[in-house]
Amino acid sequence: MVLNNNVSKFRVLRTKLEIENAMKNFKALALLLLVTYSNIGCFEDNDDIPITTAEINDFVWKGMNLYYLYKEDVPNLANNRFSTSNDYLDYLDGFQNPKSLFEDLIYNRENVDRFSWIVDDYIALEQFLSGTTSNNGMEYQLFKFSETDTNRYGVVTHVLPNTDAESKGIKRGDIFYGIDGIPLTSSNSSQLLRQNSYTINLGAYDDNSTPETNDDSVNQTSESISLSKSTYTENPILIHSILDLSNTKIGYLMYNGFTGTDQFNSELNAVFGTFKSGNINELVLDLRYNPGGSVYTATLLSSLITGQFAGAIFNTEQWNPEFQEALQDQNPEQLINRFLNNDNDASLNNLNLTKVYVLTTKSSASASELVINSLRPYIDVVQIGTATAGKYQASITVYDSPNFRRQGVNQRHAYAMQPLIYKSLNINGVTDYFNGLDPDIVLGEQFNNLGILGNVNEPLLAAAISRIMGTGRFPKLKSSFLKVTHGSEDFEPFEVGMYTEKEIPLDLLNRFLVE
């Protein structure tokens, strides 16, 4: 691929000290950039050597110019955007910090790209992606009673084991209306719930003895519970069991994150080993609170559910036109994810199912949706609950290094980016489900009747069992359900989304970086 000469020059003229020797023909311009911006805002690096904002901005622009899915829609990322080096430097100078530049390069933040982000601490990001966060163990959703209601109320959806919340006796279905004595609102909930320590003020749900929700309310009580966060690594496998009902064995798995670590992937395979040895006939996959994560783990889970499609196309990827053309030309297989037949050489405990029941809510996102969308062309996926979040794009961690990988990362700052790099399509080409994936059976969770997770009488699981057993007896619930505005995952320091661990071949990257 032959790139525009000016853009080729900009890509080669990396300003970072660790690659100057590799770019000998352009030392003069690299030095010019360092001198020109020596008097602007600096960041302290890991070695106490200041780094200019412009240097980090240079990394941001070049990484986005290379990878960004919506590059063609952003004029400032065009290959011919800058006619001279001074034009480029002036552009970088127009942004006081890397985050403001990053946002300037995002395409239609409100309606299209809701999920690209930049961080100033890639170590914390890496820990987050592996499932390690600062957590008190109380997972919750915030809701409101009407579209005009500015108050917010919290309901505990589940409690993580071996956490402060568990030790304090917090349980699913607990309602809270305030934090530290301050009622929750649309404007203060983020600040209050991001604190490391806080006290929840408990309330009591009042349905006013009617089947509608428009006259429901939360009454304040005098009870409160203090909680503190600590470093915690969450196992995404919250519950797994086998329900033996009238000679039908139903496997139930509540899976709360596609964390992607070798350990948790191995444990997932082991759970399916338990299902397989238990001779289950049906499977209920509970993804209602799963915000997504690793594409590989989504592929693994889908391969465990099935098994008869090993090697077949699970999903395909659509990158920005430049990358798509290059990948298609050099290695079309790079654009395909296939059903697996092993995990790190360990054989899979495949169930070879032809039907799966999946429980979803608006908190079911990215890799959760990937499982549903990619399995639908192959087996019967019965989705029960409410529509999912609508995250069909994947991201990758982009570091400030010569090839944007982790190795050789610039030690003088800790910024990294997580831009969207491709759209996911199932084998039939289905993608762009911006409004989420719609359920076959619509059933919203109701906060005065959440039930016990994994119990046969819990409403969403009961609906799945009813469909499996053919009884047609669905739980009697309210005719409407409340608007959920946020989940506890929304108050994490980083956005949870679908990400790929797949590495672009270095020879392909080099074509972009040095031609």
pLDDT band at 454 (very low <50, low <70, confident <90, very high): very high
Choose the final residue of a domain: 232, 256, 291: 232
Residue 47's pLDDT band (cuts 50, 70, 90):
low
Predicted confidence (pLDDT) at residue 389 exceeds the cutoff of 90 = yes
167: Cβ contacts below 8 Å, ≥ 6 apart = none
Q: Compute the distance between CA of residue 299 and CA of residue 262 in angstroms, rounded to an integer.
A: 14
Q: Give the CA radius of gyration of the chain.
A: 25
Q: Side chain identity at 211, as an amino acid letter?
A: P
Q: Secondary structure of the chain: what % helix, strand, coil (to 5)?
A: 30, 25, 45
Question: Both 221 and 288 in a single domain?
Answer: no
Residue 119 lies in a domain: no
Q: Would 102 be classed as within a structural domain?
A: yes
The CATH number given to whatever domain includes residue 259 is 3.90.226.10
Which pLDDT score, from 0 to 100, does residue 492 have? 78
For residues 373 and 351, give the distance between their C-alpha atoms in angstroms, rounded to a whole number: 19
Tokens 């590799």, residue? 22
One domain, residues 31 and 85:
yes
Residue 69 is assigned to a structural domain of this protein: yes
Q: In what order do the strands lie in the sheet with 248-255?
A: 237-245, 248-255, 282-286, 355-360, 380-385, 441-442
**514 pLDDT exceeds 70?**
no
Asked whether residue 26 is assigned to any structural domain, the reply reads yes
Q: Given this model, what pLDDT does residue 24 score?
A: 35
In a domain, 487, yes or no: no
Contact between 247 and 320 (Cβ < 8 Å): no
User: Does residue 502 belong to any structural domain of this protein?
Assistant: no
Question: Residues 340, 345, 348, CA angle at the centre, nearest 5°?
Answer: 50
- Kindly state whether residues 382 and 243 are assigned to the same domain: yes
Domain check: are 351 and 254 in the same one? yes
Q: Indicate if 52 and 65 belong to the same structural domain.
A: yes
Flag whether 448 is in a domain: yes
The answer to whether residues 364 and 39 touch, using CB atoms and an 8 Å cutoff, is no
Find all residues with CB under 8 Å of 56, minimum gap 6, and list them.
43, 98, 400, 413, 415
Domain boundary among 232, 256, 288: 232
Task: State the pLDDT at residue 426.
Answer: 98
- The answer to whether residue 39 scores a pLDDT higher than 90 is no
Same domain assignment for residues 209 and 300: no
User: What's 106's DSSP letter?
Assistant: -
Q: Please give the mean pLDDT across all residues of the chain.
A: 88
Beta carbons within 8 Å of 252's beta carbon, 6+ residues apart: 239, 240, 241, 242, 243, 283, 284, 286, 454, 461
| Residue 490 pLDDT | 85
Our count of domains for the chain comes to 3
> What residues make up the domain containing 246?
237-320+333-393+417-480
pLDDT of residue 459: 94
Query: Could you tell me which of 360, 389, 367, 375 has the C-alpha nearest to residue 287?
Result: 360
pLDDT value, residue 489:
86
* Whole-number Å distance between alpha carbons of 387 and 364: 8
* Domain match, 227 and 246 both: no
Domain co-membership, 265 together with 361: yes
Residue 11 clears pLDDT 90, i.e. is over it: no
Are 308 and 385 found together in one domain?
yes
Give 328's pLDDT tier (boundaries 50, 70, 90).
very high
**84 and 221 inside one domain:** no
In a domain, 266, yes or no: yes
The enclosing domain of 198 has a CATH number of 2.30.42.10
Same domain as 186, residue 303:
no
Residue 53 has pLDDT above 80, yes or no: yes
Residue type at position 95:
F
* 175 and 241 co-located in one domain: no
Amino acid of residue 165:
A
Which residue, 232, 250, 281, sits at the end of a domain? 232
